[in-house]
């Protein structure tokens, strides 16, 4: 019997020919992502207690993104400690206030098909868009990774989701992700979600990253997309040459999957998730009477350059509705620069939107855009749990950048197809 893509990657990382679901392996780590939120401030005290350092500074990527820019003395202290950690251990891949870590991995071309990678954040699964197995772990587990370069993992089952057909205009990967949260639920522990089919193959790697990122909302161990020419082109665009064996990393024809499901993209309409769960999703018209105070474009999943292009397409020649506000926090400084150079930021600003600094910001209630009691927001982020973006009584709806922008113009949750040519 053959192996799935994830099983092959884990077997290779463990130095054995085969890996089977349920087996517990000790795997060598190819890359570890640390963030200011749960990285040095949690790990460094343990390193001092153990009297040790890091196993390989060149395999660690460190980013400041959650507390940037600092809004108070505590945030500033966390950032200072993170910078001191980078200097102490010679972390060359240190990106300070350059953007959200998960997006920076892609921009810098640091992920290769077949890698086994770990991140200290649940949305580390975003890396699976490059055909690698990348999962999120807590600070204690990441301490072990930083010291030893290894971690144990139980081989997960694989659920394969195949999408066929073409999206209608105004429907994108975020709509798939929200649809799947409702369809599959959020209790998929011990599983990998493998995305495939002609719809996924036609996506840019930036859209595939939305699917693998929100595998975390499905409760899965991670998400993954097999590498193809789109993957290789993205690596070359980042200035990295793909590994010679990059396209060899794919599942066998006779691999055993826990489940295989087939969906039609032609049938999908824009989706919106109501408070307080991504699984509370449904067609946009189920929420189209809800008035909003804030629309937010931000986070690793919702403020990439492709996302900002969606927003500008809706906003061109229009204005944000009176009584509503649109906040836009590009996901990286590179995205900010590219959006400024191609006129995207000018279009967004002309519509009355506020441009915020890059970083995790309001997505995790750590920066500008935090919600007050009873406020209603529609957001391109990935989570809308109670209190996630501010006050517990705030109501957060999740949607694609297209839908968020349309809602900002309408002053209520709106179908973006009404605003697109």
Domain ranges of the chain: 5-264, 272-419
298 neighbors 369 (Cβ within 8 angstroms): yes
Q: φ, ψ for residue 154 (rounded to 5)? A: -90, 125
- For the segment(s) 272-419, the CATH number from 3.30.499.10, 3.40.50.10710, 3.30.413.10, 3.40.50.10490 is 3.30.499.10
Report the pLDDT value the prediction gives residue 348, as an integer from 0 to 100. Answer: 98
Query: What are 286-337's pLDDT values in tens digits?
Result: 998 899 999 999 999 999 999 999 999 999 999 999 999 999 999 999 999 9
311 neighbors 401 (Cβ within 8 angstroms): yes
222 neighbors 133 (Cβ within 8 angstroms): yes
> Residue 348's closest CA among 376, 391, 380, 309?
309
Question: How far is CA 33 from its chain centroid?
Answer: 13
Helix (H) or strand (E) holding 10: helix 5-14
Which segments of 215-282 does DSSP mark as H helices, in order? 229-237
Query: What are 159-214's pLDDT values in tens digits?
Result: 999 999 999 999 999 999 999 999 999 999 999 999 999 999 999 999 999 999 99
Mention every residue, 6+ apart, whose C-beta is less than 8 A from residue 63.
33, 34, 35, 36, 94, 95, 96, 98, 99, 100, 101, 104
Q: Could you give the C-alpha distances from 46 to 54, 139, 147, in angstroms and in order?
A: 11, 10, 10
Report the pLDDT value the prediction gives residue 288, as an integer from 0 to 100. Answer: 86
Fold category of 5-264 in CATH: Aconitase; domain 3 (3.30.499)
**C-alpha span between 135 and 158 (Å, rounded):** 14
Residue 1 pLDDT greater than 90, yes or no? no
- DSSP state, 255? B
Report the pLDDT value the prediction gives residue 222, as an integer from 0 to 100. Answer: 98
Report the pLDDT value the prediction gives residue 168, as an integer from 0 to 100. Answer: 96
Q: What is the dihedral of CA 102, 213, 27, 242, to 10 degrees?
A: -60
Residue 60 pLDDT greater than 80, yes or no? yes
Residue 341's CB is within 10 A of a number of other CB atoms, namely 9
Cβ-in-10-Å burial (0-12, 13-18, 19+) of 217 comes to buried
Query: What are 395-420's pLDDT values in tens digits?
Result: 999 999 999 999 999 999 999 999 99
Beta strands in 170-237 (DSSP E): 191-196, 222-225
**C-alpha span between 151 and 144 (Å, rounded):** 7
Query: What are 107-146's pLDDT values in tens digits?
Result: 999 999 999 999 999 999 999 999 999 999 999 999 999 9
Q: φ, ψ for residue 33 (rounded to 5)? A: -105, 125
- Please state the pTM of the whole predicted model: 0.97
Q: Could you give the C-alpha distances from 270 to 126, 291, 364, 380, in angstroms and in order?
A: 22, 18, 24, 13
Report the pLDDT value the prediction gives residue 421, as an integer from 0 to 100. Answer: 77
Residue 284's CB is within 10 A of a number of other CB atoms, namely 26
Mention every residue, 6+ apart, whose C-beta is less than 8 A from residue 48.
none
* Confidence bin at 85 (pLDDT 50/70/90): very high
Same topology, domains 5-264 and 272-419? Answer is: yes
Query: What are 352-399's pLDDT values in tens digits?
Result: 999 999 999 999 999 899 999 999 999 999 999 999 999 999 999 999
Residue 318's CB is within 10 A of a number of other CB atoms, namely 17
Query: What is the separation, in whole angstroms, between the first and last Cα of the chain?
Result: 50
Residue 18 pLDDT greater than 90, yes or no? yes
**C-alpha span between 3 and 5 (Å, rounded):** 7
């Amino acid at each position: 019997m053959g192996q799935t893509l994830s099983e092959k990657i884990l077997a290779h990382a463990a130095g054995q020919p085969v890996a089977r679901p349920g087996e517990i392996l000790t795997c060598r780590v190819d890359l570890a992502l640390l963030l200011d939120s749960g990285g040095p401030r949690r790990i460094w005290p343990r390193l001092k207690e153990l009297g040790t350092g890091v196993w390989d500074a060149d395999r660690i990527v460190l980013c400041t993104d959650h507390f940037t820019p600092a809004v108070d003395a505590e945030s500033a202290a966390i950032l200072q400690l993170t910078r001191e950690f980078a200097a102490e251990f010679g972390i060359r891949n240190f990106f300070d206030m350059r953007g959200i870590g998960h997006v920076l991995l892609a921009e810098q071309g640091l992920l290769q098909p077949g890698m086994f990678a770990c991140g200290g954040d649940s949305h580390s699964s975003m890396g699976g868009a490059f055909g690698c197995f990348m999962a999120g772990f807590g600070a204690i587990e990441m301490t072990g990774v930083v010291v030893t370069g290894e971690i144990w993992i139980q081989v997960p089952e694989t659920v394969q989701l195949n999408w066929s057909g073409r999206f209608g205009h105004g429907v994108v990967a975020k709509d798939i992700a929200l649809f799947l949260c409702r369809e599959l639920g959020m209790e998929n522990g011990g599983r990998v979600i493998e995305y495939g089919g002609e719809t996924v193959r036609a996506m840019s790697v930036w859209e595939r990253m939305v699917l693998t990122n929100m595998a975390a909302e499905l409760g899965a161990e991670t998400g993954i997309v097999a590498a193809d020419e789109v993957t290789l082109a993205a690596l070359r665009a980042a200035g990295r040459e793909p590994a010679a064996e990059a396209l060899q990393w794919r599942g066998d024809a006779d691999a055993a999957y826990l489940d295989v499901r087939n969906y039609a993209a032609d049938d999908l309409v824009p989706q919106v998730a109501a408070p307080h769960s991504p699984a509370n999703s449904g067609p946009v018209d189920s929420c189209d009477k809800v008035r909003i105070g804030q629309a937010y474009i931000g986070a690793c999943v919702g403020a990439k350059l492709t996302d900002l292009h969606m927003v500008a397409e809706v906003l061109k020649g229009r204005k944000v509705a009176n009584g509503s506000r649109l906040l836009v926090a590009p996901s990286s400084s590179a995205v900010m620069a590219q959006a400024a150079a191609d006129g995207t930021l000018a279009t967004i600003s002309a519509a009355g939107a506020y441009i915020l600094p890059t970083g995790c910001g309001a997505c995790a209630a750590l920066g500008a855009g935090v919600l007050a009691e009873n406020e209603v927001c529609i957001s391109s982020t990935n989570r809308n749990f109670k209190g996630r973006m501010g006050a517990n009584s705030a109501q957060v709806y999740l949607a694609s950048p297209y839908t968020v922008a349309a809602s900002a113009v309408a002053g209520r949750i709106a179908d973006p197809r009404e605003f697109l040519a």
